[in-house]
Amino acid sequence: MAASEPLLRAEGISKDFLGVTALSGVDFDLAAGEIHALVGENGAGKSTLIKILTGAYRRDAGRIVLSGEPISPSDVMEAQSLGIGTVYQEVNLLPNLTVAENLFLGREPKRFGLIDRRAANRRSREILAQYGLSIDVSAQLSAYSVAVRQIVAIARAVDLSGKVLILDEPTASLDAAEVSRLFAILEDLKARGLGIVFITHFFDQVYRIADRVTILRNGHKVATRPLAGLERLELVSMMLGRELKEEESHRAPAGEAGERPVVARFRGVGKRGRIAPFDLDLRAGEVVGVAGLLGSGRTETAELMFGIAQPDEGRVEVDGRPAGFASPRDAIAEGFGFCPEDRKQDGIIDDLSVRENIVLALQARRGWTKPLSRKEQEAIADRYIAALDIRTSDREKPIKFLSGGNQQKVILARWLATDPRLLILDEPTRGIDVGAHAEIIRLIGELRERGMSLLVISSELEEIVAYATRVRILADRRHAGELDAGAISADAIMRAIAAGERHGDGQGRAAEIMQEGAA
Amino acid sequence: MTLPATMRRVLPQLVALLVILALNTAIAPGFLDVAFANGRLYGSLIDILNRGAPVALLAIGMTLVIATRGIDLSVGAVMAIAGAVAAALITTGQPLAVTLVATLGAGALCGLWNGALVAFLGIQPIIATLILMVAGRGIAQLITEGIILTFNDPGLVFVGSGTVLGVPFPIILWVVIGLCVSLLFRVTALGLLVEAIGVNRRASTLAGIGTSALLLAVYAASGLCAAVAGVVAAADIMGADANNAGLWLELDAILAVVVGGNSLMGGRFSIAGSLIGAMIIQSVNTGILLAGFPPEFNLVIKAAIIVVILVVQSPASHTLSAYFRHRPGAAQDRSAGAVRAAGKTGSAGKEAVR
C-alpha cells in the first residue's frame, strides 16, 4: 500500500484543554489507497485527533502535511475544500431536506441564478450510482434508513473533498448486512485511491477492513502497525496499556464461593441491541469483576441488573424468589445499590450538601412519610464521613465543591447507608486521585469480608485482579466467559477479552483460554 | 432552630417588602392606617394582603413546580376553569360542599394532566403546561357557555369576601395553605426529595426516588392551588369570567417565586420567600395606584422595580457584593451581605419610582 510520500502526514500533534493534555506529540500518516483504523479506549484522544485533522479544533503544536503541502485548516469547511471530508456517527446531514439537497447543500447547481433542481437531481443520481444506490433523490432523507443516510453522507464527503475520508464510528448503528455493504463501498473508494481513516470499537471490523492500525492511549500514540501479522492479544494489550507478563498471581482470597448463599440470580437476562442474554449468580461475600473493552456491554449489564433498563427476556431471582425490576426503586427495595460510571450526570446531586447526598437513597427507600430527623441525618453523614475519610470542611458543604474522589466516596456512603446486600460499582475509580483510588479498592475488600455481594466493572485490569473473586469477561455485547478465582491474572483477563472479541467463535475461544488459565 | 435559618433565607425579601411599604407610606401618608368597621378590618395593608391572595396561592404551587426545575404556565387558565366549574355547579343547585370538592378535583385533574405530560412523556414543562394555558380558557368558556356566569350563593361568595374575626377570608386561605404546605414539605422528607429531583432528576431516579410520582404530585398541587385561587377570584366578583379570570396571573406567580429568591434552575426552594414575593408585587401594584400615576405608567414602573429586585439577586451582583464583603473591615456574615443587597434594592427602587 505505502507510497513513498504519504497522502496525509501529521507530526507531533499536541492539544491541551484548560491545562488537561488531550494529545501529546502524536504522529499519524495515511497513504493514498489505504484504510487506516484508529483505536483506543474512551479519552485516548481519537476524536481530538480527528477534530484537529478536520479543522474543528486548532492544534497547539505540530504539523499537518496533505499531499506534500503543509496545511492549517481553521474550520471544517476549509478542511473540506482542501480534501479532507468527515462522516460522523450521528450522520451530519439534514433529514428534512431531500437526498439531492443534502448532497449539494451549499453548492447547488445554478441556472440563471436560481437553483437548478433538475441538474441537482440528475447529478445526485449519478453520484449515488457509483455507490450502487438507486433511490429517489427527491425524497426526504428522513425517509431512508441510517445505512442509506450514511452512504449519502459518505458520497457527499467524497464528492466535496476527494482525498481523505474520515469515518467516526460509522458502523455503530448498522446491522451486519449494512456493515458489509458499507465495507464494500470503502473497498471501492480505497481502490479509487482515497485515504480512509476509520474509527471503531469493533475489533473484527478493524481486521476485516483496515490495512494498518494506530493505537492511541491517554493522548499518546502507542504504535502504528500493519494488521497483517498483528495478534489480537497484542492489540488489546496496547490499547489497555499493559505489557504481557507471565507472573501476577491473584491476590484476593478465593473463598469457598460455592457454599455461600446466592443473593441474586440472573437467568437468560438480556436486551436486544444492548446485551445478549446472560446467566449470573451473585453470592454473598464475593466480588465479581467485570472486564471488557469499551462498548462490550459492561454498563448495559449493570443497567439491566439495577432496573434502569428493562430486559426483554430472562428472569431474576432474589433470595430464591422471582423478582422483576421496573425501576431502580424496585432494585433498591431488594437491597441493591449502584454507583454509576458517570458520577456527575448520574451520581451526585450537585447543589445539595454532603449530608443530603449521603442520606438520599436511604430516605428515598423509607419513603417521604418517614423522614430521617435532622439529628439522624447528621449522625449518618458524620459516621460515613469518618469511616470513608471523606475530605470536606463541613457536612453542609454542597457536594459540587468536593474533589472527584471524595464525591465518589459520598456516593458509596449513600449506598452503604442503605445497608445493601448487593452493590454494583461501575468504574468506581475512574477520574479520582491516587489516594482515594487505593482507599476505594481497600473498601471493596472490606465490604466483601463483611459478607456483601459486589459486582465491580472496571477498565483497570490490575484493580480487578486485586479485588475480584471471579471475573466476568464481556466482549461484543455478550458475556463471553468467566475466570475463576485461581485463574485470575491481568494476562488471563486480557487473553480472554481478546479471544472474546474474535469474530464468531468467541465463546469457544474464551472457554478454551480459561481452561488453560485454570490448568 | 430551623426558624433562624428560614428567617435568614427570606431576609432580603422581607427587607425589600419593608422598603416598598415605606415608599408607599411616603407617597400616601395614611397607608399604614388599619381601621375596624362593620366587623371587618380596613386599610391599604389589609387590601394588599387580600388583593394579593390569588397570586400568593398560585405562588405556593408554582414554587414546588419550579423547585423540580419545571414551570406551570397553565395556572391562570386553571383559575378560569375552576371559577367556571364552581359557578356552573352552584348555579345548577349543587350544595356548596359538592361544588367546592368538584372544583378542587378539576384543578387537581388539570395538574395531573400537566404532570403526566412532564413525568411520563418527558415533554418540557414550559411546552407541556402551555397546552393547558391555551386550551384551558377554551374549556372554561365551554363550561360557562361563553357568558359571565354569575351566582349569589352566600357560601361561595364568602370565600371571596367573607371575614373571620374581621380578617378577610382570602388572607386566611393563603396564609393557612402556605403554612400547611411549607410544614408538609419540611416536616416530611418531601422537601429533600423535590429539591433532589430539581437538581438532578436522573441521579435522583438512580438513588431510588420515585421521580415520576413526585412530579405528578407537584403539578397536581399546583393545579389545586390554582383552583383555590380561581374560586377566590370568582367569588370576589360573584361570577365566573372565563376570558379574564386569572389572565396573565401565571406570570405574576412566576415573578413572585423568582422575586422570592427561588431559582428557575430548580433545587432549593422557600415557600415563605415566594409568599413575600407575592406581597412585594401586590405592594408595588397598590403603591403605583396610590401614587396617582396615569395608569399607562403602571406596567412600566412595575417592570422597572422588578428588574431592580432581580438585578440585586443576580449572581453577578452576588459576586460584586462578595467582593465588597471580603474587603478588610467588612462584615463577614453572609446575612449581613444579604441585608446590604436588599438595602440597595430599596434605594434603587426609590430611584425607579421617582
Q: Which residue of A has its CA nearest to B190?
A: A368
CA distance B148 to chain A (A): 43
pLDDT at residue number A511: 45
B80-94: average pLDDT = 95
Q: Which residue of A has its CA nearest to B210?
A: A329
Residues of B in contact with A349 (CB under 8 A): 195-196, 199-200, 203-204, 207
Q: CB A366 to CB B190 under 8 A?
A: no
Asked if the C-beta of A348 comes within 8 angstroms of chain B's C-beta atoms, the answer is yes
Asked if the C-beta of A370 comes within 8 angstroms of chain B's C-beta atoms, the answer is yes
Backbone torsions φ then ψ of B17, nearest 5 degrees: -60, -45
Q: CB A363 to CB B203 under 8 A?
A: no
Domain layout of chain B by residue ranges:
1-32+293-354, 44-277
Domain A259-335+421-518 sits in CATH 3.40.190.10:
no
Mutate to test the interface with B, among A308, A351, A375 (most CBs of B within 10 A): A351
Q: How confident is the model at residue B216 (pLDDT cuts 50, 70, 90)?
A: very high
Residues A31-58 have pLDDT tens digits of 999 999 998 876 678 888 988 998 888 8
CATH number of A8-96+140-230: 3.40.50.300
Nearest to A369 among B188, B195, B206 (CB): B188
Cα dihedral sign, B47-B50-B56-B58: negative
Residues of A in contact with B200 (CB under 8 A): 345, 348-350
Q: Hey, what's the torsion of the CAs at B300, B301, B304, B305, to 10 degrees?
A: -150
pLDDT at residue number B113: 97
DSSP string covering A240-265: HT----S-----S----GGGSPEEEE
Mutate to test the interface with A, among B66, B195, B206, B209 (most CBs of A within 10 A): B206
Q: Is the pLDDT of residue A417 over 90?
A: yes
Q: CB B208 to CB A346 under 8 A?
A: no
Distance CA B92, CA B144 (A): 12
Task: Please classify residue A134 by burial: count the beta carbons closer than 10 Å to its beta carbon, then call 0-12 exposed, 13-18 middle and 19+ buried.
Answer: exposed
Q: Which residue of A has its CA nearest to B208?
A: A329
Task: Please state the separation of Cα B166 from the chain's center in Å.
Answer: 24
- Chain A / chain B CB contacts < 8 angstroms: 80
Asked if the C-beta of A310 comes within 8 angstroms of chain B's C-beta atoms, the answer is no
Residues of B in contact with A359 (CB under 8 A): 192
Domain layout of chain A by residue ranges:
8-96+140-230, 259-335+421-518, 349-419
Q: Which residue of B has its CA nearest to A357?
A: B196
Q: CB A372 to CB B189 under 8 A?
A: yes
Q: CB A363 to CB B200 under 8 A?
A: no
Residues A248-264 have pLDDT tens digits of 344 545 555 557 889 99
Asked if the C-beta of A239 comes within 8 angstroms of chain B's C-beta atoms, the answer is no
> What are the CB-based long-range contacts (under 8 Å, 24+) for A306-313?
A306/A331, A306/A336, A306/A338, A306/A424, A306/B206, A307/A331, A308/A338, A308/B206, A309/A271, A309/A274, A310/A271, A311/A269, A311/A270, A311/A271, A312/A270, A312/A271, A312/A272, A313/A268, A313/A269, A313/A270, A313/A271, A313/A277
The single-letter code of the amino acid at B349 is G
Q: Is the pLDDT of residue A515 over 80?
A: no
A173-188: average pLDDT = 82
Range with lowest mean pLDDT among A337-341, A392-396, B239-243, B342-346: B342-346
Residues B285-310 have pLDDT tens digits of 888 888 888 877 778 887 887 788 77
Name residues whose C-beta falls within 8 Å of residue B306's C-beta, 6 or more positions apart in sequence.
Answer: B255, B259, B281, B284
Nearest to A345 among B188, B202, B209 (CB): B202
A139-153: average pLDDT = 84
The partner residues of A16 in beta bridges, in order of sequence, read A21
Q: CB B190 to CB A368 under 8 A?
A: yes
CA distance B196 to chain A (A): 6
Residues A77-120 have pLDDT tens digits of 888 888 898 887 666 788 888 888 888 887 788 778 788 888 88
- Give A500's Cβ-side CA count (13 Å radius): 26
Q: CB B200 to CB A349 under 8 A?
A: yes
Residues A269-319 have pLDDT tens digits of 999 888 999 999 999 999 999 998 877 888 899 999 999 999 988 999 998
Backbone torsions φ then ψ of A322, nearest 5 degrees: -65, 140
Helix (H, G, I), strand (E, B) or coil at B159: helix
Residue A242: CB atoms within 10 Å: 17
Q: CB A368 to CB B206 under 8 A?
A: no
